[in-house]
Structure 1
Amino acid sequence: MAPKALDYESLNENVKKTQYAVRGELYLRASELQKEGKKIIFTNVGNPHALGQKPLSFPRQVVALCQAPFLLDDPNVGLLFPADAIARAKHYLAMTSGGLGAYSDSRGIPGIRKEVAEFIGRRDGYPSDPELIFLTDGASKGVMQMLNTIIRGPGDGVLVPVPQYPLYSAAITLFGGTLVPYYLEETANWGLDVHDLRRSVAQARANGTTVRAMVIINPGNPTGQCLSASNLKEILTFCYQENLVLLGDEVYQQNIYQDERPFISSRKVLMDMGLPISKEVQLISFHTVSKGYWGECGQRGGYFEMTNIPPESVDEIYKVASISLSPNVPAQIFMGLMVNPPKPGDISYDQFVRESKGILESLRRRARLMTDGFNSCRNVICNFTEAYWEMKDQKRVFHLRTTILPAEEDMPAIMDSFKKFNDDFMAQYEDYGGYSRM
C-alpha cells in the first residue's frame, strides 16, 4: 500500500530538514527530566516570566479591563484599578469593533498602528506611515511572513549572521531557500566586516545562489552586541550596492546594559544617509513585546515596519496576512501599551518607571554575575554582556548559548554549580587534546 500523506516518508522534505536548536534534543531531554521531578531551569530561550520576572502592572491592568469590559460599569472599578488604566482600556475598546473577541483588520487595529508609527517617529526623528506597519503574533510570525515572501525557491539565498537565532535557519529551510552565512568577528565585539560579507555573496553566487536579502540582529542574539551607526551605515551601503532587502531584527532594543553602546535603529541610520540610499534600500524592521523589561512572550505581540517597499508589494503582503484573518487582539493592545506607556504626570507613571527600571537594573547585574562566573571557570572566556561559553585549545573553540534570566538570587548558586562541573570536566579531559561539545 502506498504511504499516506502524513506518513513520515511522504512528508514535505523541507519540514523534515528543518531544525530549531533551542527546542531540540537538549530541551526534550530536560523536559523528560522535569517530568521525573527534577528541578530544571530552562535557559534555552528568552522566556522571562517563566523564570520569575513579574509582569508590569499597568499593561496587565489595562488588558484585564479590556478582557472584562463589564468591570468598567462597576461603580467600584476605581477602587481596584487606577484612573489612567481605566481611561486607557476605554481608549482601546473604542478602537475595536466588538472588543477583544472580534477580528481586527489583518494588518492590526489602525489606532494601534498609528501609536506604533508615533513611537518610531519619536525614536528615530523621522515620521513613520501607519499604513506600512503590520501588527503580528510576535516578531517571529512577521519574520516568517517576510522570508516566505522573499524566497521563491532553492536558488534564492538569505545572508544570516553566525552565530544567529535559529528562527532564521529554520524558516529559510522550511520555505525551501538557501542560507548564506556571514561570520561575526568574536574578537571585535562580535562585529562584522563588510569584506567578509562580499566574500559570502561572491561564494554564494559562484554556487548558483541568488542572494536576495540580509538579516541583522541588533542588539545581537545570542552575542549581545550593539551595532554602531558607522557599522550600520556600511551595512546599508552594502545592501544598496548589492540590491538586497535588509531584515532588521531589533527585538532586543530595550536590553541595553552598556551606556557607551546605545541602540540605534537601522531605519534612523538609513534616513540619516540621505539620497539616493534613503529612498532605495528596502528595509523591514521587527519589534516585539516579548523582550526588554516587558518579557510578555506568551502574549505574542509584535510588528514589522516596511521602508521603501512598492505599494503593489505591500498589497500582496496584506493579502497573505489576510489569510490568517487577524493577529490576536490582546497582543495588539500590549503592543500599543509598549509604544505608548504612562507619561510623566499620569497616576501610574512612577510605578511603571520603578518596575521597568528595576527589571533592567537586575538584568544588568545578572549579566555581570554570569560574565564573572564564567570567567572564573577553567579554560572559559565570556564577554559582557550576553553570556557564552568558550572552550579553547590550539585548534578549536566551542560555545555555549544561554540566557541571563534565572532569578538574581539563584545566579551565584547556578554559577558555582557550573564552575564545579566545568573545572572537574577540564581536569579529567583537557589532557586528551580535545573537548566534547556540551
Structure 2
Amino acid sequence: MANLFRTLNTQFEKSIQRWKLEIERKIKEAEQPNFKEVVNISYGDFHAMGMKYITFVRQILAASAYPELLKSRQLPVDVEQRIVQFFKDWGKQSIGCYSEDFGISCVRRNVARFIEERDGGIACDRENIYITNGATNGLQLILRLFEYGKGPSQTGVLVPVPSYTRFRLMVLEAGGVNVPYYLNEGHSWALDMTEMKRALKCAREHCSPKILYLINPGNPTGQVMSRKTMEGIIKFAAEEKLFVVADEVYQDQVFGDNCSFLSFKKVLFEMGSEYRDNVELVSLNSVSKAYLGECGFRCGYLETINIDPEAITQLRILITSSSFPSISGQIVLDILMKPPQPGEPSYEIFNKEKTFIMNTLARNSKLAVQTINALPGLRCNPIQASMFCYTRLELPSKALEQCKALDLYPGLFYCMQLLEETGIVLDPGTGFGENDGRDHIRFCTLVPPEKFDDALEKIKNFHLKFMHKYS
C-alpha cells in the first residue's frame, strides 16, 4: 500500500483513472469485499454520474445525423423546423461536412444574440466570436498568442489558487510562468485585490506578468464575483496593462441566495470609456457545463474585446491551422444559445428537464454543505454556483504523522483511504494548485439525488471512523 501511495502522490494528474481501474479489477476478481462498485464523483462529467441528458438536444442531434428520422413524423414539429432551418442557414446538407474555420456563421450569429440578451443589449459582433473545440481549446489558443521568453522577460500568468488544474499545465506547456494569487477562503473565496497586487509585485522580480486569468463562477470554489470586485479587477488590469481571460463556463449554474451572474464584458462596458475602450478581454463559454453537460461534444466559444489587430490576425491563423470545430458540437452550442421558447412544442419537456437539473444541483449543494459542516475536521463555505463542493480538511496529528511517513499530501492520503474503504473517488486539493499547507477535497454535486445521498452517507461514515482511528 505504501508504494502505491507514493506512486500516486508523485503522479497525481494521471492517477485518478488508475485508482478506479485498479479497484474495479479487484471487484471483478472478488478481491474487494467492502463494496460492489466505484462511484467517481471527483470531476464535472455529470452525465457519467447518471444525470440524464436534455431530450431536445438528443432529438436534434439524432435527426441531424440521420435526416431519415424526419420522415417518421415522431419528432416534435419544432425539432423538425429547427433542423431544416439550421441546414438552410448553413448552406450544407450533412453534419459530415467541414465547418468554416471560425465556426458556422449562423451559430456565431446566435452566440452574438445570446450575449447581447445576457448583457442587457450591449452590442456583440459575430466577427468577434470564434467557435472552439471546447473552452480548453479556446484557452490554449489564447495562450499561444504570446511570446514567452526566458528569465525576467518570461511571460507570467496570474492564476487563482485554487483553480482549474489544466490551465496551469497549459501555461507551463506554452512556456509561461504560473503566478498564483490566493482566494480568500475566510471570506467565501472572494478575490482580494491586496493579494492580487502582492502576487503581481512579487512576480515582477523574476518574470513579466502579462495575462490575468479569472474563473467566474469559481471552479472548484463555487463563488460568484460581485460587481464591485469585478470593477476593481478591471481597473487593476487597466493600470497594469494586463490581458484579461475570463473563464465563464459556469455562468448558467448560479443558484445561491441573492446571487446572479454578471459577465466581465457587461461590467467593462458599463464603466468609463478609459476602461471600456482599452482593456483587452477574452471571455469563454462551453456546452460541457451549464445544464447541458455535453462534455463529449467538445464545443465552446470565445469572444474578443479590444484585442490588438495583429493579435487577432495571429489568432485567426492559429484557428485556421488547427482542427475545424465539430459540427455536432456546434449544433449543441446553437441549442444552448437558442433553447426552446414558451409556446413551442418542446418547451414544456425541455423546461421540466432543465429545472430538474438545476434543482438537483441546488439541493445537493445545500445538503453537502450541511453534512460537511456537521463533521469534525471538515469545513465548507456556502456554495453559490458551479457544481463542486470544495471542503477544507484538517486531519489529526496522528494522521499527519502517517502522511509524513508515507511522503504523502494529507488530502491525497485521505482520498486514497476513502477509495479503499468505500469505492468513492474524490479529488485532493493538491490538484488545484494548493501547496501552502492547506488541505482540501473536492467532489461534484450534480449527481442523481439517490446516488448522491448514498455517496454522502458513505463519506460521513468513513470520516467519523477515520477521525476516531487517528484521534
TM-score clears 0.5: yes
Contact 2:159 2:214 in 1 (8 A): yes
The structure, 1 or 2, with the larger RCO (C-alpha pairs under 8 Å, 6+ apart) is 2
Match of 1:419 in 2: 460
What corresponds to 1:171 in structure 2?
A: 170
Of residues 407-416 and 125-134 in structure 1, the stretch that sits farther from structure 2 once superposed is: 407-416
Alignment match, 2:427: none
Aligned to 1:11: none
The one-letter amino acid of 2:451's match is D
Answer whether contact 1:162 1:184 (CA < 8 A) is retained: yes
Spell out, residue by residue over 1:401-431, the C-alpha distance to the aligned partner (whole angstroms, 9 max, x if none). 111133211222222211222122222224x
In the aligned structure 2, how far is the partner of 1:111 from the partner of 1:411?
39
- Structure-2 change in CA distance of 1:250 and 1:135 (3 Å): same
Q: Does 1:104 align with 2:99?
A: yes
Match for residue 148 of structure 2 among 137, 148, 152: 152
Q: Hey, what does 1:387 align to over in structure 2?
A: 389
For residues 207-222 of structure 1, the aligned pairs below 5 Å read 207=206, 209-222=207-220
- Matched AA of 1:197: M
Corresponding residue to 1:93 among 87, 91, 116: 87
Residues 376, 141 of structure 1: alpha-carbon distance in 2 compared, 3 angstrom cutoff: same
1:33 equivalent in structure 2: 23
Deviations 1:127-151 (A, max 9, x none): 1111111111111110111112235
Residue type at the aligned position of 2:254: I
Q: In 1, distance between residues paired with 2:309 and 2:107? A: 21
Query: What amino acid sits opposite 1:228 in the alignment?
Result: S
Q: State how far apart, in whole Å, the 1-side matches of 2:339 and 2:105 are.
A: 18
How far, CA to CA, are the matches of 1:55 and 1:251 in structure 2? 18
Q: Following the alignment from structure 1 to structure 2, what is the Cα–Cα distance between the partners of residues 59 and 266?
A: 28
Instruction: Give the Cα–Cα distance (whole angstroms) in 1 for the partners of residues 38 and 46 of structure 2.
Output: 15
1:118 partner letter:
R
DSSP-derived class of the 2:355 partner: helix
- Within a 5 Å distance, the mapping from 1:54-73 to structure 2 comes to 54-72=52-70
Match of 1:5 in 2: none
Q: TM-score, normalised by structure 1?
A: 0.89
State how far apart, in whole Å, the 1-side matches of 2:187 and 2:91 are: 48
Say which SS state the counterpart of residue 135 (structure 1) adopts: strand
**AA at the equivalent of 1:181:** P
Is the deviation greater in 244-253 or in 320-329?
320-329
Deviations 1:259-291 (A, max 9, x none): 401111111000000311001001110001111
Is the alpha carbon distance of 1:20 and 1:55 closer, same or farther for their aligned partners in structure 2, counting shifts above 3 Å? farther
Aligned to 1:83: 77
Is this contact kept in 1: 2:277–2:306, CA < 8 A? Answer: yes
What's the CA shift for 1:98?
4.4
1:286-336 CA distances to partner (integer Å, 9 max, x unpaired)? 001111211111111111100111333212111111112411111011101
Root-mean-square deviation (Å) = 1.8
- Structure 1 counterpart of 2:124: 128
After TM superposition, list the pairs within 5 Å mapping 1:424-435 onto structure 2. Answer: 424-430=465-471
User: Is 2:160–2:183's contact at 8 Å kept on the other side of the alignment?
Assistant: yes
Matched residue of 1:247: which SS?
strand
In structure 2, give the amino acid aligned to 1:123. Answer: R
Partner Cα separation in structure 2 for residue 20 and residue 314 of structure 1: 37
Q: Is the 8 A contact 2:360 2:448 kept in 1?
A: no
Using the alignment, how far apart are the partners of 1:301 and 1:330 within structure 2?
9
Using structure 2 for the length normalisation, give the TM-score: 0.83
Question: CA shift at 1:391, angstroms?
Answer: 2.5
> Contact between 1:217 and 1:250, CA under 8 Å: does it hold in 2?
yes
The unaligned stretches of length 5 or more in structure 1 are 1-18, 431-438
Distance of 2:261 and 2:99 partners within structure 1: 32
Residue among 347, 350, 353 paired with 2:348:
350
Q: Structure 1 vs Structure 2: percent identity of aligned residues?
A: 33
Q: 1:225 aligns with which of 209, 223, 226?
A: 223
User: Unpaired runs of 5+ in structure 2?
Assistant: 1-9, 28-35, 398-436
Q: What pairs with 1:38-437 in structure 2 (closer than 5 Å)? A: 39-72=37-70, 74=71, 77-78=72-73, 80-94=74-88, 95-125=90-120, 126-154=122-150, 155-207=154-206, 209-385=207-383, 386-392=388-394, 397-430=438-471
Contact 1:58 1:85 (8 Å CA) reproduced: yes
Q: What is the rounded CA distance, in whole Å, between the counterparts of 2:57 and 2:457 in structure 1?
A: 37
**Is the CA contact (8 Å cut-off) linking 2:393 and 2:441 kept in structure 1?**
no
1-side partners of 2:195 and 2:295: how far apart? 34
Secondary structure class of the residue paired with 1:161: strand
Ranges of 4+ aligned residues in structure 1 off by more than 6 Å: none
Does structure 1 conserve the Cα–Cα contact (< 8 Å) formed by 2:286 and 2:301? yes
State how far apart, in whole Å, the 2-side matches of 1:286 and 1:275 are. Answer: 23
* Cα distance in 1 between the residues matched to 2:452 and 2:109: 41
SS in 1 for 2:145: helix
Would the alpha carbon gap of residues 346 and 265 (structure 1) be closer, same or farther in structure 2, given more than 3 Å must change? Answer: same
Deviations 1:333-383 (A, max 9, x none): 110110101112111112111110111001111111211221222221122
